[in-house]
Structure 1
Amino acid sequence: IVHYRHGACHRWRHDSLLKTSTMKAYQYRMGEPIAALQIVDLPMPSVEPGQVLIKMHAASLNFRDLLVVTGQFPRVQQEVIIPLSDGAGEVVKVGSRVTTLKLGDRVTPLYCQSWMAGEMQDEDTAWSLGGCIDGVAAEYRTFDEMGVLKFPDHLSYEEAATLPCAGLTVWNSLHGPCPLAAGDTLLTLGTGGVSIHALQMAHAAGAEVIVTSSSDEKLARAKALGADHIINYVTTPDWDVAVREITRGRGVDHVIENGGGATLLRSIKSTKRGGWIHIIGLIAPGEIDPVHILLSGVTLRGKEVGSREMFAAMNRSLSHSKVRPVVDKLFAFDQLPNALGELGAGNHFGKLVLSIA
């Protein structure tokens, strides 16, 4: 009886909320500074027969979000947009034709709403949240049934919100054409969201992991999460030489390369012949002579998140390993400009997350 009454009260609470005609959301207008980001009242989303209404509980930040709100996102985006691509929430209304989801399901929207399986197509790039179409920095969002996935039971909303972009990009890297195997060696640069996801997933898969950072404190935290080797790239600027020494001259099997042009040459020098460098980040610009790629025999593979099929596989793996993404700091909903400023400063370890509920 107690559980029944709690559930009835829970449904009544959502029913009363859904009777309101407006919701709170952030909007960004192209060309404005980050400080101009503001919370506005928008109409409550309607729900079509094949859609679900999600009450958003949390959203995580990616470097890509900074590119969007500084006008540097390398895709056509809306003039006015709800920012942020990664979030998690609860199904509070279900369309009449929806069969795979029910009220109360805890879900994460897909970063790319149209990419279901196989290789990404050019037309899929127009369906990325928080850049080309409205994102998740809102109290409520409507998605097609296939545009969301239930996330593992052991994760909180805040932890699950880190998966759609950062987590899935790493999964695509480590389980793509040349899957990471137990005993392989992975080098990941820095200790931001992508790098820490890579450390945790690779460690769970039985790989040997090397992590770089400019902070001994962050390297100690990475060691506690399972890093086998740590390198401070300030005190060891020739970190590629150190990587070669760790691997007895062989080089690593995989690199999570999120530094950009400024670090790519050293990443190539750190990789074994025939190894894989997964190009994920564009933090620092730079140029590289293609002769280094030619002579090294490495494969450079660009990543842009992953498909629904990959997301489902990642969730199954996380449910088995019980890995919990690292949330470094939680911000209140009205602190998004501050959170983006902290993201730009690069002092975080793991992910920065916005609380929406």
Structure 2
Amino acid sequence: MRSYHLDSGAGIDGLTLREHPDPEPGPGQALVAVRAVSLSFRDLMVLRGDYVLPVKPDVVPVADGAGVVAAVGPGVTAVRVGDRVAGNVFPSWRDGPFDLRHLAQLGGSLDGTLTELALLDADSLVPLPAHLSFAEAATLPCAAVTAWNALTGDGVGLRPGQTLLTLGSGGVSLFALQLGRALGARVIATTSGPAKARRLVELGADEVIDYRTVPDWAGRVRELTDGRGADRVVDVAGLLEQSLRAVRVAGHVACVGFVSDTAPPLDPRALFGSGATVRALAVGSRAQFLELNAFLERHRLHPVLDRSFPFDRAADAFRHYASGAAFGKVTIGLPAWSRPHGAL
């Protein structure tokens, strides 16, 4: 089998492809023949060396992958050989609130999925929605689960007829747009440029604000909602001051990331003045992943894909993703793995 490895901070040129003996699953483990992986912003942070969670040396990168169970270890009943599955980013986070017990994550402190064969905790795996390809399913573990958590994980959830504001056209925001529409919400999206704006409208956005031509996008959200503001904001950029101006009184801001180390400080008066709940979140539990998959199947939703690269060109996939040119998820495909005679 072949796996990519890197040391955090080594950059894209630090990716190395190496051969290893095929692993054997131990108690509670499943061996997954990976068929596709998907890149997320956290993977770029690992490459750059500024990911906020621990990264082990010589890690197999990338958390998001989908494949087929090739073998199971002793005592495994959760999955069977032949099952189509994906792993949860935080494998031990099965349900309930997140805490430090669940800090270990794929592609960081644990080896990830940029490999032909991945040894994963069998109880962390989830079945793939039947209508999705491996490439589509590989986009779910980080971006889609995060979006689902942002929309539903507060115990109240986005309700039909409410207004959702999404920022930009990254993976989480595109999933939030699709899921929000399926939940019956009106969706306002921000983006840069007319080409992306057209794509967002095609995906179902009711209104699109180009923040390059309308820098005061929070004020424009107020205008579009008759002064009330959006009921829920999915903030992927760390622009909390503006998000709080855009959200309604006692609304909800899901803070799911940041793109700059130089974001302006948050004035406490803006927080108290909005009366809003600001909830920081990172991905979601296995239970939320299962909820998401059932919702995707029920509404026959398909992720937005940009471009797929072969396994041997993984570095090119990272470069394309890092360029910012992608609209939709960038994936890496692997051929179906066939067991050599006598293996496992």
TM range (shorter): over 0.9
Secondary structure of 2:6 counterpart: strand
- Looking at structure 1, the residues matched to 144 and 130 of structure 2 have their Cα atoms a distance apart, in angstroms, of 16
Instruction: Identify the residue that residue 152 of structure 1 maps to in structure 2.
Output: 129
1:318-337 to 2 correspondences below 5 Å? 318-337=296-315
* Number of the residue aligned with 1:5: none
1:69 aligns with 2:47: yes
**1:42 matched to which residue of 2?**
20
| One of 233, 252, 256 as aligned partner of 1:280 | 256
CA drift of 1:80 comes to 1.3
Q: CA deviation at 1:99?
A: 1.9
Residue 240 (structure 1) aligned to one of 218, 230, 249: 218
CA distance in 2, matches of 1:347, 1:290: 36
Say yes or no: does 1:217 pair with 2:195.
Answer: yes
Aligned residue among 139, 156, 159 for 1:162: 139
Shift, 1:96, TM fit: 3.8
CA shift for structure 1 position 193: 0.6
Q: Is the 8 A contact 1:253 1:276 kept in 2?
A: yes
1:116 maps to 94
Question: 1:275-316 CA distances to partner (integer Å, 9 max, x unpaired)?
Answer: 111111211231222221111111110111111111111111
- Unaligned 5+ runs, structure 1: 1-22
Deviation of the 1:342 alpha carbon: 2.4
Tell me, what secondary structure is at the counterpart of 2:187?
strand
Q: Which residue of 1 aligns with 2:166?
A: 188
CA RMSD of aligned residues (A): 1.2
User: How far has the Cα of 1:38 moved from its partner?
Assistant: 1.6
Rounded Cα–Cα distance in structure 1 between residues aligned with 2:8 and 2:223: 47
- Alignment CA distance shift 1:151-1:270 (3 Å): same
Question: Is the 1:169–1:304 Cα contact (8 Å) retained in structure 2?
Answer: yes
In structure 2, distance between residues paired with 1:276 and 1:108: 30
After TM superposition, give the deviation of residue 105 of structure 1 in Å. Answer: 1.0
Equivalents in 2 of 1:345, 1:303: separation in Å?
26
CA distance in 2, matches of 1:284, 1:237: 17
CA distance in structure 1 between the partners assigned to 2:211 and 2:151 by the alignment: 24
CA distance in 1, matches of 2:30, 2:94: 17
What is the rounded CA distance, in whole Å, between the counterparts of 1:75 and 1:187 in structure 2? 28
Q: Secondary structure at the match of 1:211?
A: strand
Q: 1:265 aligns with which of 238, 241, 251?
A: 241
Structure number with the higher helix fraction is: 1
Alignment equivalent of 2:284, drawn from 293, 302, 306: 306
1:53 deviation in Å? 1.0
Q: Which residue of 2 aligns with 1:11?
A: none
Cα distance in structure 2, aligned partners of 1:113 and 1:255: 27
In 2, the alpha carbon distance for the partners of 1:289 and 1:91 equals: 50
Deviation at 1:259, TM superposition (A): 1.1
Quick one: distance in 1 between partners of 2:27 and 2:101?
Answer: 24
DSSP-derived class of the 1:273 partner:
strand
CA contact (8 A) 1:194 1:350 kept: no
Structure 2 partner of 1:14: none
Task: Report the alpha carbon displacement of residue 143 of structure 1 after superposing the two structures with TM.
Answer: 1.4
| Structure 1 counterpart of 2:247, one-letter code | T
Give me the TM-score of the superposition, normalised by structure 2.
0.94
1:51 Cα shift?
Answer: 1.9
Query: Post-superposition, which runs of at least 4 consecutive aligned residues in structure 1 deviate over 4 A?
Result: none
% same residue: 40
One-letter code of the match for 2:113? V
Shift of residue 273, structure 1, vs aligned partner: 0.6
CA contact (8 A) 1:188 1:199 kept: yes
Aligned residue type for 1:264: L
Q: Is the 8 A contact 1:185 1:208 kept in 2?
A: yes
In the other structure, the counterpart of 1:10 is none
Per-residue deviation at 1:215?
A: 2.1
Structure 1 pair 31–217 and aligned structure 2 pair: CA distance change class (3 A): closer
| Equivalent position amino acid for 1:265 in 2 | E
1:80 is paired with a residue whose SS is: coil
- Residue 30 of structure 1 aligns with which residue? 8
Q: Which moved more, 1:338-347 or 1:263-272?
A: 338-347
- State TM-score, norm by structure 1: 0.90
1: CA distance, partners of 2:18 / 2:204: 43
Q: 1:250 offset after TM fit, Å?
A: 0.2
> Secondary structure of the equivalent of 1:159?
helix
Whole-angstrom CA distance in 1 between matches of 2:60 and 2:185 = 38
